[in-house]
Each structure stands twice: as C-alpha cells, then as structure tokens.
Structure 1
Amino acid sequence: MRFLIVDTVYDGFLQWLYNTRAPGLAVRSFDEQYRAQVDGFFHTAGAWSEPLRALGHEVLDITANNAPQQVRWMVENDRLDAAKTLSDALVFGGYSLRQKQDFGWQRGFVAEQVRKFRPDVLLCANLYMFDDAFLETVKGSYGVAVGQHAAVMPRNSLKRYDLIISSLPNQVAAFKEQGIRSELVKLAFDERLLLQLADHGKPHDLAFIGQISSHHRGRARFIADVAQELPVSFWGSASWPEDIDPSALKITSNPPLWGLPMYQALKDCRMVLNFHLDAAGDYANNLRLFEVTGVGSVLVTDNKRNIRDYFDPGREIVVYDDAPGCIAAIKRLQSAPDELDAIAKAGQQAVLSRHTYHHRVRDLLPLLG
C-alpha cells in the first residue's frame, strides 16, 4: 500500500536541526532534508515509515510545519507557483524562505502532496490542523483517512476520518461516542536512535526533562516536592506557579533539549521522573515511558491503572502514588545500585522486545482493512 503520513514537530526542534545540527540544510534536496530530520530523532517523526517500508509498503513522510523541507518538495515536484499562491506568510528567495505564524500554507502544501501522491492510506497525526475541512479539500485523492491522537481532545469536526487510533483508552471511547471508528494502538520506541548515543556512564543521578508551567500545576507541585528532598537535574523551560519558590529547590536547571541531545541526556541519567498531564486521565500514556526505558535508564513514573499493560512495576520500572512515596523509593534505590541496574536492564529489554514501532505496525495494519 501507499502511505502518506503527515505530522508536525516542535519549532524548537526545527531551530536546533537547521541552525545547530546542520547549518545550510535548508538549501539541500527534499530527501536530504528528510533524512537529516529522521536522523535527528524528533519523537515520532519518521517512526512509522521504516517499519512500513520493511514490510514492502511505499511511504511519503511529511512534516507539515517544516517550511524549508516543504518548499523544497514543491520545487522538486513543479508546484512552486502553486506554493506562492497559498500564503502571503511565505517569502521566497531562491529555495529559502521566511515563515510567519500561519497554518493555511501548511494545509495547502499537504493538500498538494496528497493530490500528487494519491495514497491508499492518509495518516494524519495532527488532528487540530487536519480535520474534516482539510479532508474535504483532498476528497477523491486518497483511499482511507486515519487520524492519530493522544492529547487534549480536538473540538473540530473529525467525522470524515475512517479511523482514529489513540494510545489512550478514554479517548478511544470518546471518539466512539462521537460516532467515529476508533481503536487502541499503543505508543512505542524507535530503537534506531540507540546506535547514535554515546556511553558516558551515568553522570546524573535523578532528572526531569520536560516543561514546567503554571498550566501544569500538578506536575510543578510534584517536581517541587521531590526537589525539596532530592537533587534533580532539569532540562527544559520552567515558569513556576506563584506559590513555588524555585530558589528553595535542589534543582540544577539546563536549557531545553531536542532530538538526539535529549535522548543522550536521558541515557546519561540513572533515574528519570515522569508525571502525566491531565489529558491522560487515569491512564499511563506518554512517550517518556518508552524513551527512558528504551535508552537504558530507570523510569520513575506515576502509578496509572494500565501501567502493567506496558511494564512490570518493581522489576522493569518504578512507580509512585505520591511525592513522599516517590522520594522514599528513590532513596531506597540509591542505596541499592545492583537493583537499580537490574531494573534499567529489564526495562530496556521490555521495550525492545515488546514496544517498538515494528511491533506497533503489526497492530495497525489489520485495522486498515
């Protein structure tokens, strides 16, 4: 089958990719830019493609908000004139461009790609942007439309989708209540990145990598409670709620990380804290579950009702019910290094044997009919 997969990535990742990792990349071919992006390892970018290709499927992998890459595709496919008409927010100069905050061009470019490629399966992983209105513009140019979602529920209409997959059971139920066919497909780990990581030992004992803000009060309060007792290495952006004084915490702050540097930081830590946001409800469901274990570090995560569907707590990961319980578990493991190493090894083995995209693609394909 022919798959067109469309997703978006964080702006911070694109800035790192084009300005730090690969200056000059913006003027290279679409294939070169795509390969550089995949090798930069942004979370899910390119993760479905390699397992699908390994099974003989043809895949066009699109990052809708990667402006240099998207413009290059338009140039190489004789659609530059069409691209120039799609948005005033793009200023072309040769093959380079300046991008403002405008999403119309992103939908317009992807529509051109769908019409050109005519996929059997159109898989959209940003349902806030690619909704029924978008599918109407490409009607007749694809076989089935599949959405993928596991964040705050979209408010736009998605009834044109033939299937929406989610790694959250509560969201599968919510989509079904809207009359949309929905199935559970779990998140996974892209094991290819392991070949790109160095072994620095474990210079950081306990870490948190992510965002802290007043909008994430539960997470902020939890991290603060832990960091009052234990030193925590932190990578990310932080805007603490007014009732938390970060200067009183045992936190070493570092700038946000993207792609491979983020995974390297995860690997360099003995234990990594994880705290789910509200959209997950009572369910364990974020990529950090697999990223931490996948790189061989110990995951310390909140105890959700389905966590045992993924890992064996106490043997493959560490779970907590509250901050005091988390602190006690960490302190105990700090005095039991052999047990800590055993959990790290068992967690990584669990991911590589059960939770890669090669495993998940075999769950996905039967759902497509």
Structure 2
Amino acid sequence: MVQPSLLLVSPVFYGYWTTIASSLKKLGYEVHTHLYDAPGTLVERVRNKALHDLPERLRPAAFESIVTDKAVAKLREVNPEIVLVVKGDQLGQQWWEAVQNSGARHATWMYDELRRMRYSDQDFDLRMLGPIASYSPADVAELNAQGYEAIEVPLAFDADLPIAPAQEPNISFVGARYEGREHMLKQLHDAGLPVKAFGKQWSRHWWDVARTRQFKTSGLETGRDLDRSHAYGVMASSPATLNIHGDQDGFTMRTFEAPGVGGLQIIDRPDVSRYYDVGEEVLVYESIEELIDLCKRVLVEPQWASRIRQAGQKRTLAEHTFDQRIQALESLWK
C-alpha cells in the first residue's frame, strides 16, 4: 500500500516536532520534515532571534524572505500530497501561495493564541492557512463565527520521550520567572514548604545570570534550565509539580505532561475539568491559602497523592497523547 506523502513544517519548539512526526508515521504517512526556525550559522541564529523578538515594523524583510524561500524549496523538493504546518507565522505570503499552487491538501495547527502570533500583525487572509486547529477554544469560536474552518485540538503529552531519572524532594515548578509566579512561590516557601524553581531565569549559575540579567535572587532554591527529558524526571519524582498559567485561553503542554509522566499536578485553572477529574486526577487551587493547604496535604498523605498520580497518568495515556491529537488533526485533510 502506497503511503501518502506528508510534509511537516514546524518550529523547533523544544523538539515536539519529533513526536508529531512519529505519530503521523504510525498512521501510515511518509513524513518529511522542515524546521523553519532551526538554528544554523551565526547569521541564521541572529536572523531567527530577530524574527521572533522584533516588532513587525522593525523586522528586516530579507529575514522573512530567507525563511520563506527555504520552506518553499523544501515544498518543491518533496512535492507532498499533504502539508501540515505547526504555527507557521514566520513564513511569508509566498509560502502560503506556493502551498495553494502545489495542489497539496494542507492544514495549520496553532499552539498559541492568534493575538500573540504574527498573523495579527499584518493584513493576512487566514483562509490561506487551510483548515485550522487551535488549542484556544476562544479562537476556534471566533474563527468559526467568521466563516473559517477551525477545530479545537488541545496540546498533548509526548509519551515517546524517555524520562530522565531524578530524585526531587521539593515541590517543583518548571517554567519562566514572572513576578506573580515568584510571589506565589515565595509564599509557599514562607509557609515552610519545600519549593524549588527550575529555569534559566531562576538559576543562580553565573552563565544563566549573565545571559538573563536576573541579578536579583528570588531567595528560593533553584535549578538550571532543563531539557524536556530532565523536566519530565523532576515532575515525576517531586511530591507535586505546579502548573501556573498566565494570560492564556488554551492549556499549556505542561497540563498534560505533568500527569503523563506520573507527576501530581496542582494547577490554577478550574476549567481543567474539561480534561481531568478535579480532585481525582489533578488538583486545582484558586487562592494561595488553598494552594498551601493542598501542598501540605500532599506531603503528609502520600497514599492519597499516589492515587491521584496514578489516575492522572492513566487518563493521560488513554486520551491526551500526541497519537490521539494527530488522529484529530487528520480530519482536517481527509
């Protein structure tokens, strides 16, 4: 049986493209990949940072053109039947025109809100993206109301990634250092709870301090930036791991990763009940007092905590892996 050829066009984004490609192969596709923001030479790394960080009006047009031209060249080389783009907002108009002209069926999967992506910075016809899958329920509702074809596909747990063994006795937080998060973790610390924050902005290693310019210590126990495999190990082995959202509509990857690795997730979003049974598979807090109480109970009732871990992991492996998400995405081009 001939396998349909599929071109996966994705950002590097912590290597999630590897499990997306693996899940596609399991469904019988001949998968080719193109990482449009993969680091290369020094010039290419500077270009990629400019595309990510500069406001639209300050981005040199030539930078976008180089990224776009490389993607178009890959499209012509592969000549796929199907194109799946992940995010893709660094790619210029010429890319989307080339995809349309190729005759390939195509779709776009977004792991961020539209308002945070470059599509909102320019006069761009979203119909060029093909059918859209988004982790944002609000975006999906708005797109459908405007006549676009869009479905909600949440993020997922990468069940293929090995978990690096770890022994973490502290309640863990893995993520960026924001003022609100730091204040909350300090309150846990002041309540006598063992807390440790991981990430380059928290780290006191001299190199991390130099590159982030975070000269002021948080006063917390901290660790360095973790790759996903080691982050999985920390979350799995800590008494509980915290998932703190910001101004987001959809749920982060961590929402599914923490229980997926067998960790006990404590999250700040009651609407996680869409995916997990609160109190049975995941814990939710809505105030710092409630969070302190939950953390204390986790430490003094390990059997109760273990039951939640096991139930959360079972639910995740059954419903929230990339294999399940790719099956949902498949409806966009079939």
The bucket for the TM-score relative to the shorter chain is 0.7 to 0.9
Question: Structure 2 vs 1, CA of residues 221 and 175 (structure 1 numbering), >3 Å: closer, same or farther?
Answer: farther
Show structure 1 runs of 5+ residues with no match.
11-41, 72-87, 91-97, 240-244
Is 1:184 paired with 2:184? no
Match of 1:255 among 224, 232, 238: 224
| 1:56 aligned residue | 28
SS in 2 for 1:165: strand
Deviation track 1:249-290 (CA, whole Å, cap 9, x = no partner) reads 4x211221123222222223221100112132xx5x110011
How many residue pairs end up in the alignment?
Answer: 298
Q: Is the 8 A contact 1:159 1:179 kept in 2?
A: no
> 2:151, 2:113 → 1: CA distance?
17
> 2:143, 2:30 → 1: CA distance?
29
| 1:210 aligned residue | 175
Taking only aligned residues, the RMSD between alpha carbons, in angstroms, comes to: 2.7
Deviation track 1:158-210 (CA, whole Å, cap 9, x = no partner) reads 231221101221111233344421101121112112xx33544x433301001
> 2:112, 2:36 → 1: CA distance?
18
Q: Which amino acid aligns with 1:364?
A: L
1:23-34 aligned within 5 A = none
SS in 2 for 1:46: helix
Q: Is the 8 A contact 1:46 1:61 kept in 2?
A: no
Mean Cα deviation higher: 285-294 or 218-227:
218-227
Deviation at 1:43, TM superposition (A): 5.2
Question: Structure 2 vs 1, CA of residues 279 and 364 (structure 1 numbering), >3 Å: closer, same or farther?
Answer: same
| 2:10 aligned residue | 7
Deviation track 1:78-97 (CA, whole Å, cap 9, x = no partner) reads xxxxxxxxxx945xxxxxxx
Deviation at 1:236, TM superposition (A): 0.8
Deviation at 1:142, TM superposition (A): 4.5
Is 1:367 paired with 2:332? yes
Is 1:298 paired with 2:264? yes
Match of 1:275 among 244, 248, 259: 244
Q: Which amino acid aligns with 1:311?
A: Y
SS in 1 for 2:248: helix
SS in 2 for 1:45: helix
Deviation track 1:56-108 (CA, whole Å, cap 9, x = no partner) reads 1111122222244xx9xxxxxxxxxxxxxxxx945xxxxxxx76444432222
> 2:182, 2:65 → 1: CA distance?
35
| 1:238 aligned residue | 201
| 1:24 aligned residue | none
Match of 2:181 among 208, 219, 224: 219
| 1:16 aligned residue | none
Q: Which amino acid aligns with 2:259?
A: T
> 1:248, 1:198 → 2: CA distance?
27
Q: Is the 8 A contact 1:5 1:61 kept in 2?
A: yes
| 1:335 aligned residue | 300
Q: Which amino acid aligns with 2:70?
A: F
Q: Is the 8 A contact 2:176 2:201 kept in 1?
A: yes
Q: Is the 8 A contact 2:197 2:222 kept in 1?
A: yes
Q: Which amino acid aligns with 1:4?
A: L
Question: Structure 2 vs 1, CA of residues 234 and 143 (structure 1 numbering), >3 Å: closer, same or farther?
Answer: same
Deviation track 1:16-44 (CA, whole Å, cap 9, x = no partner) reads xxxxxxxxxxxxxxxxxxxxxxxxxx352
| 1:94 aligned residue | none
1:1-369 aligned within 5 A = 1-10=4-13, 42=14, 44-68=16-40, 89=43, 100-101=47-48, 102-130=63-91, 132-153=93-114, 154=117, 155=120, 156=122, 157=124, 158-193=126-161, 196-200=162-166, 202-213=167-178, 217-229=179-191, 230-238=193-201, 249=219, 251-280=220-249, 283=250, 285-305=251-271, 307-369=272-334
Q: Is the 8 A contact 2:67 2:91 kept in 1?
A: no
Q: Which amino acid aligns with 1:289?
A: T
Deviation track 1:46-65 (CA, whole Å, cap 9, x = no partner) reads 22222221221111122222
TM-score, structure 2 as length reference: 0.80
Deviation at 1:248, TM superposition (A): 6.8
Question: Structure 2 vs 1, CA of residues 261 and 168 (structure 1 numbering), >3 Å: closer, same or farther?
Answer: same
| 1:80 aligned residue | none
Q: Is the 8 A contact 1:124 1:130 kept in 2?
A: no
Identity %: 24
| 1:83 aligned residue | none
Deviation track 1:316-364 (CA, whole Å, cap 9, x = no partner) reads 1111112221111111121101111111111111111111122222222
